[in-house]
Structure 1
């Protein structure tokens, strides 16, 4: 594909990599830039683009424009969250006049081959300008957002449940509204594409998540360590649910089978209350780690106790790429094409998960072979360059439509 001029919007900075979504954004930016595409990145973020961020993105982004997102406790945010017709997450990221003005200026400044909007919940500030300029755009959905509420709303107090149901209804309506306007929708898995396709002008394209194959190639898990790893961004409710379910239901059963097993919990925004709630010395609350292969090399098993989320789970994909034996729910392996028992062990209740982890700890030879099959599977199918090729195919479809419309005009 010839080099394209791409205007890309995100509701967060893709560096530092503290979540699966940021990992996806950063690696696809890098892959697209390596192919010669010129990218202008427009971001509304709650964090600043400091020198480290600028240095990390400068090789891949021709122009970086970052605007601050107002605080969650800002009265304007709270008012709209309660009374807007838009869902909660959209009001948090929307109603941003400065972002709207900046986007309008960028559309007016030059012709863009591709305009790409990440997440329907970040779409509101751009809607009017896109319509005025009759600008085609690609919408990328990392999940089916309206299905993610269970992990969050289930923890709300009983008195707030009516608002939770109302917000879920607002979310489904907004999602349908946005997807219906997109020239093309990109999903992360075939399952998500099937669900989103009911609301789109045309069948969504699938651009899978990937893994840094070379970065994880040197990992050698420590099967004798008895360490069981989980990694997540704890600003994301499904990851919070995974750890809390593991602590309450899985680990009591696992410790009955493997008293020496240790739980290593890593990731951004680790809730401080967990250290006081679960004080067993066999738990290692490590928080954010800046070099994941190091902690993977210290671990014996990756436990993906994920009950919610949609999309495909980068943390699981990276564990597979590192040949770390994985025990996961069916949800945790969604979109990864893994065969149960071959590249990972699959269990969907607490007793089965504890039994599966214990089995791998007791049978290290079997665990090693499963991990090697997992690494081969990811290497063959989930390289970031292959993902970039999938994204370019989506761009080509939008450009072909645009040429047809111009020819008919």
Structure 2
């Protein structure tokens, strides 16, 4: 059995948030066909309890803590060195020595890096087949953050966007293949790095249709007579915080004025002080972490995805669609998803349009089900099929054939 070094910026377990959903499924697939050496970080103390199932899948694991204090200290050091903060945060001597030891002993045949911050651990080893899963073009996300802020924050975010974009280009040029979470994200990255366009691939996530099944019975978490719009996500993530604030301030007052029984629920772990403050307004509830988000989705009249800052594809949108829900999405949240016949809700950045569409579904006598949405997700976002393509990219990189024509990924899948 061949061996792979899987370097991941965050423990790929459990599949509880966007980046961890993809890394969780990638790890499980790698473990089926490779001896896996996993190097990763824990930035949430609650994740330590999940280490045992990860270790059971791997030949060897190196896990390093990444505390807020370490993050700040390393970020400041990165400023002094003139490098991207994303790169500096993961500068870890223990991890570096572990990786160098594996490579010196020739224990691994290939490296897969998940998130650009961990790429430096194998940058000095061009003889090793290396695949970079960027997931999203993070540098552009920092550019969007800069546009949404002023003063010192804008300066820091602009700097990070520029430095990280330079680093992403370097990685894409040096590595054997680069993978992104959608074809539209890959196309965007090819424009930024035309010299590496032939080895950049868009491979979507999947959705577990059995788990996100509207036929499963869930008790309603809402009060009787309440008409709910719900927004689900990690509420310490900048883009989600920004989205919740925008919807609460720009959309919800118009809805509440015409539908007093309506309530906007912000559901997700680690809400910041800014998110908690939204719960003080009329008609808004901030729940914090919940054990299972499916009841909140199942019994909502509509699901909001009001992101104004986004890249790639939003798992929260795919999961809501798999449950046959009405979606109130911004164009940014809909990125990477082709429109389909039968979609219900709206894709708009207009507060007026979104409020009008919310009222339409809040006024409906029953909670709507959208079977076309579920059918679309099950047909286009299948984990098995998409991971088959992912593994084909890895196999071709090992064979030195990753630079095939990106226009024909079907041909790549057929490569022996």
TM-score interval for Structure 1 and Structure 2 normalised by the shorter chain? 0.7 to 0.9
TM-score, with normalisation over the residues of structure 1?
A: 0.87
Q: Kindly indicate whether residue 183 of structure 2 is the aligned counterpart of residue 194 of structure 1.
A: no
Q: Distance in 1 between matches of 2:117 and 2:324?
A: 35
**Higher RCO structure, 1 or 2 (CA under 8 Å, sep 6+):** 1
Q: Say if 1:18 and 1:268, in contact at 8 Å, map to a contact too.
A: no
Aligned to 1:5: 3
> 1:398: which partner in 2?
397
Alignment of 1:94-243 (within 5 A): 95-128=91-124, 130-131=125-126, 134-154=127-147, 156-198=149-191, 199=193, 200=196, 202-217=198-213, 218-219=215-216, 225-243=226-244
Number of residue-to-residue matches in the alignment: 395
Q: In the TM superposition, what is the alpha-carbon distance from 1:238 to its structure 2 partner? A: 1.4
Q: Distance in 2 between matches of 1:31 and 1:77?
A: 32
Which shows bigger deviation, 119-128 or 72-81? 72-81
Partner of 1:80: 77
CA distance in 2, matches of 1:362, 1:74: 47
- Residues 251 and 354, structure 1, Cα contact 8 Å, conserved in 2: yes
| Matched residue SS, 2:309 | coil
CA distance in 1, matches of 2:348, 2:109: 45
1:57 to 51, 54, 57: 54
- Structure 1: give runs of 5+ residues left out of the alignment: 405-409
Deviation per CA, 1:242-277, whole angstroms, max 9, x where unpaired? Answer: 101111101112212322111111112211343335
Q: Which whole-Å CA distance do the structure 1 matches of 2:115 and 2:86 have between them? A: 11
SS in 1 for 2:337: coil
1:365 Cα shift?
Answer: 6.6
Contact 1:323-1:375 within 8 A present in 2 as well: yes
CA displacement 1:80-102 (0-9 Å, x = unmatched)? 24322212222222x32221111
Q: Distance in 2 between matches of 1:394 and 1:403?
A: 6
Question: Which stretches of structure 1, 4 residues or more, deviate above 6 A after TM superposition?
Answer: 220-224
RMSD: 2.8
Answer yes or no: is the 8 Å Cα contact 1:18–1:267 preserved in 2: no
Deviation at 1:389, TM superposition (A): 1.0
Structure 1 distance, partners of 2:58, 2:206, is: 20
